[in-house]
Amino acid sequence: MDISVVIPLYNEAESLPELEAWISRVMQANGFSYEIIFINDGSTDNSWDVIQALRQRNPNVRGVKFRRNYGKSPGLQCGFARTRGDVVITMDADLQDSPDEIPELYRMVREEGYDLVSGWKQKRYDPILSKNLPSKLFNATARKLSGIPNLHDFNCGLKAYRSEVVKNIEIYNDMHRYIPYMAKVAGFSRIGEKVVQHQARKYGTSKFGLSRFVNGYLDLITLWFTSTFGRKPMHFFGLGGSLMFLVGFIALAVVLISKLVHITSGTPAPLVTDRPYFFIALTAMVIGTQLFLTGFLAELFARQSQDRNDYKIEEEL
């Protein structure tokens, strides 16, 4: 099979028939063999009834129904596990992503050898203050921390992947924003970008609020930390704890030496406990010790992980 299209959705019953017809028209015009996998993320409208009706009309349509709303990342993860196509396309169900982009995305993966191609909504039909400006700041931070400087829109739902990519990454919580970063960590470094058409929402309302930007930054920090220090936490906590303990120890030594100098010279000196530097030094030493022990315990847990030696082998002779 050429293409699998994975579409997570929540209360998008009105747009589904038009989206399915549009995708099918593009696939047939280009001679692609395909499947459309709708992931119904606990919708409270009649989205599932619509998916069932589309399935009866088009055998290329498949559907997964969650018992409740879990979020976009679990939807994508379940969809990826069920794909059979050589190239996997993801898009949103609100008709803001154009299926006309699929042939070129497919070509870039198959002919140009990209592991992943992310869409870039260069011209957006979203509110400037509530979406566009926060999105630019968010993407700038993601580019810096991820080390993928050529991507302008990490959160674009329209993406294309080699099948091997989606089978070797695990998406959880709200990590769908960072799939390119997760693919890079998994060893898929050929990541490209394509400017795609962004259309104004035709039906319904957006399901994401401003909280996604706060959660997005927290998820980015978590992903950066786990990908960098997940297998070697002692390198982070142990180094930081050792440096803090050393600074505190030196500061304490300076305070004590200063006291001894006053005593040996017979000059009056304030009590050590009257000097704030003494308590600052002790606090630094205690925090440094705690960080070091945290790294030590985290290292023990990391060594007990079942996937500690799970290395992704691409080819073997």
Residue type, 287: I
Q: What is the pLDDT of residue 219?
A: 78
- Tokens 């925090």 belong to residue: 287
The Cα–Cα gap between 44 and 27 comes to: 30
DSSP H helix total and E strand total for the chain: 10, 7
Distance from C-alpha of 311 to C-alpha of 231, rounded to nearest angstrom: 12
Model pLDDT for residues 108-134, shown as the tens digit of each residue:
999 999 999 999 987 766 555 556 677
Rounded to the nearest 10 degrees, the angle between the axes of helix 16-30 and helix 102-110 is: 50
The single-letter code of the amino acid at 305 is S
Residue 119 belongs to what H/E stretch?
Answer: strand 116-120
Average pLDDT over residues 73-89: 95
Within 8 A by CB and 6+ apart from 30, the residues are: 102, 103
- Residue 315 has a pLDDT of 59
14-23, 35-44, 75-84, 141-150: lowest mean pLDDT where?
Answer: 141-150
Q: Is 97 helix (H, G, I), strand (E, B) or coil?
A: strand
- Pick the closest to residue 171 from 90, 115, 60 (CA basis): 90
Ordered by start, the domain boundaries in the chain are 3-229, 234-304
Tokens of 293: 């022990």
How many C-beta neighbours within 10 Å does residue 160 have? 28
> How far apart, in Å, are the Cα atoms of 291 and each of 68, 128, 234, 285, 305?
40, 42, 9, 10, 21
State the Cα–Cα distance between residues 221 and 138, nearest whole angstrom: 12
From 3.40.50.720, 3.40.1190.20, 3.40.1010.10, 3.90.550.10, which CATH number describes the 3-229 domain?
Answer: 3.90.550.10
pLDDT at 244 over 60: yes
Residue 304: its pLDDT value, please?
72
DSSP of 25-93: HHHHHHT--EEEEEEE-S-SSSHHHHHHHHHHH-TTEEEEE-SS---HHHHHHHHHHT--SSEEEE--S
Confidence at residue 213, expressed as pLDDT on a 0 to 100 scale: 62
Q: Span 18-42, mean pLDDT?
A: 96
pLDDT, position 79: 95
What's this model's pTM, rounded to 2 decimal places?
Answer: 0.76
- Tell me: pLDDT of 262 over 80: no
